[in-house]
């Protein structure tokens, strides 16, 4: 059973901004690189004692869109529903506000002992709102991004193993400046780390479903029909997990390869410093998280994968940052000069 203080602790731990005693603001990555989507988390109480967490991700001013078109085009969502939040004048009167994707979750139904699922849901809601806002602002761009947005995917798409990664070009005569080459590799490493996290999120959804179904199948006492149904669901999800896990492994291998090239290219320079100077703050933070999931050992079964991700989460929350004692680096590499980052 969840409690609001637990939500507050998670929000503070993962960089959200507290607005008041009953509201937090998360700023999460949008659908496109560099975009930020605001997600508000509120505490609500239905008297006498029914507690809720309300989540809102605004995507458009009600003044700027055709509400009928919004409802008809994106009204059927797998995540949340279309909502409206008015603004208030100083005298308390209602002003035109924002359309948002919103949902309410009973606090008692939340297991917040492992925050990953709750945070992943916030990311999915943020992606849904950002996609919806982009589509309404630019219909042509929206159609180019996805043929039909009548529903929101349950997780960010995993990168395809055969096409997600283009090989980094070999240093050629056209790149004369070593610093230019280092910046290029730093940018490639940031993109590769972003792909690691996207593949992780996709695998995490299936792993949690498979693990949950397997746990239910093993619960006793229980009717045999129920056991068989849960076991069949677990087996199906375990089969689905194989390809998304391979995508995750491909993403990790690609990022490790780029990291090695980046470190090997810095003969006279500090690769970690160049990474920080080259990447925007958001991507730099992603690299800091991704490197811990590259170091963690994650097995090919849902249970082993979740154990590895748990260890990666612990490292993300405890590893010192750049400039602090014990900093291990945001660049995973297998360079000959320094093997500290190897598994």
Token pair in block for residue 276: 């920080």
For CA atoms 262, 267, 273, 274, give the dihedral sign.
Answer: negative
CB 254 within 8 A of CB 167: no
When the pLDDT of each residue in the chain is averaged and rounded to a whole number, the result is 78
- The answer, yes or no, to whether residue 30 has pLDDT greater than 80, is no
Dist. CA 250–CA 233, nearest whole Å: 26
Dist. CA 88–CA 144, nearest whole Å: 37
Q: What pLDDT does 141 receive? A: 33
As a whole number, mean pLDDT of residues 291-308 equals: 92
Q: What pLDDT does 52 receive? A: 92
Nearest to 77 by CA among 167, 138, 27, 150: 150
Q: Which residue has the higher pLDDT, 31 or 104?
A: 104
pLDDT band at 53 (very low <50, low <70, confident <90, very high): very high
Dist. CA 99–CA 86, nearest whole Å: 9
- The answer, yes or no, to whether residue 163 has pLDDT greater than 90, is no
Dist. CA 129–CA 263, nearest whole Å: 38
Share of the chain above pLDDT 70, in %: 82
Q: What pLDDT does 251 receive? A: 95
CB 73 within 8 A of CB 150: yes
Element (H, E) at 106: strand 94-106
pLDDT band at 67 (very low <50, low <70, confident <90, very high): confident
- Tabulate helix, strand, coil % of the chain (nearest 5): 50, 15, 35
- Is the domain spanning 4-145 CATH 3.20.20.60? The answer is no
As a whole number, mean pLDDT of residues 208-221 equals: 84
Q: What pLDDT does 146 receive? A: 26
As a whole number, mean pLDDT of residues 295-319 equals: 90
Domain ranges of the chain: 4-145, 178-318
- The answer, yes or no, to whether residue 24 has pLDDT greater than 60, is yes
The predicted-structure confidence for 234-289, as pLDDT tens digits, reads as follows 899 999 999 999 999 999 999 999 999 999 888 777 888 888 888 888 898 899 99
The predicted-structure confidence for 84-140, as pLDDT tens digits, reads as follows 888 776 777 777 788 888 989 898 888 888 777 788 788 878 888 887 887 776 433
Residue 193: left if φ>0, alpha if ψ -120 to 50, beta else—which one? alpha
Query: 57-71, 132-146, 290-304 — which is least confidently predicted?
Result: 132-146
Give whole-number Cα distances, 6 to 1, 51, 118, 219, 314, in Å.
10, 13, 11, 27, 17
């Amino acid at each position: 059973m969840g409690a609001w203080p637990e939500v507050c602790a998670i929000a503070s731990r993962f960089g959200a901004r507290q607005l008041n005693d009953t509201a937090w603001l998360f700023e999460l990555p949008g659908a496109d690189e560099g975009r930020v989507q605001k997600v508000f988390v509120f505490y609500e109480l239905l008297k006498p004692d029914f507690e809720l967490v309300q989540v809102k991700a605004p995507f458009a001013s009600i003044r700027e869109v055709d509400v009928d078109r919004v409802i008809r085009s994106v009204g059927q969502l797998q995540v949340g529903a279309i909502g409206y939040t008015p603004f208030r004048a100083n005298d308390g009167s209602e002003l035109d506000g924002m359309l948002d994707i919103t949902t309410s979750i009973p606090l008692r139904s939340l297991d917040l002992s492992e925050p990953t699922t709750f945070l992943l849901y916030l990311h999915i809601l943020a992606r849904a709102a950002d996609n919806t806002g982009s589509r309404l602002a630019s219909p042509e761009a929206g159609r180019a991004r996805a043929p039909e947005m009548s529903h929101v995917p349950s997780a960010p798409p995993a990168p395809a193993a055969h096409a997600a990664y283009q090989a980094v070009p070999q240093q050629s005569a056209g790149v004369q400046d070593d610093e230019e080459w280092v910046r290029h590799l730093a940018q490639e490493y940031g993109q590769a780390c972003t792909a690691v996290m996207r593949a992780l999120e996709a695998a995490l959804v299936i792993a949690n479903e498979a693990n949950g179904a397997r746990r239910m199948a093993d619960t006793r006492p229980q009717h045999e029909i129920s056991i068989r149904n849960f076991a069949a669901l677990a087996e199906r999800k375990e089969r689905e997990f194989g390809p998304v896990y391979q995508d995750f492994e491909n993403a990790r291998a690609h990022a490790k390869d780029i990291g090695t090239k980046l470190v090997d290219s810095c003969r006279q320079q500090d690769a970690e410093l160049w990474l920080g100077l080259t990447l925007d703050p958001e991507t730099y933070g992603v690299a800091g998280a991704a490197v811990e999931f590259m170091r963690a050992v994650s097995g090919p079964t849902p249970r082993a994968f979740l154990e590895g991700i748990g260890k990666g989460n612990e490292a993300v929350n405890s590893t010192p940052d750049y400039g602090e004692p014990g900093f291990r680096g945001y660049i995973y590499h297998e360079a000959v000069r320094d093997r500290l980052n190897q598994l």
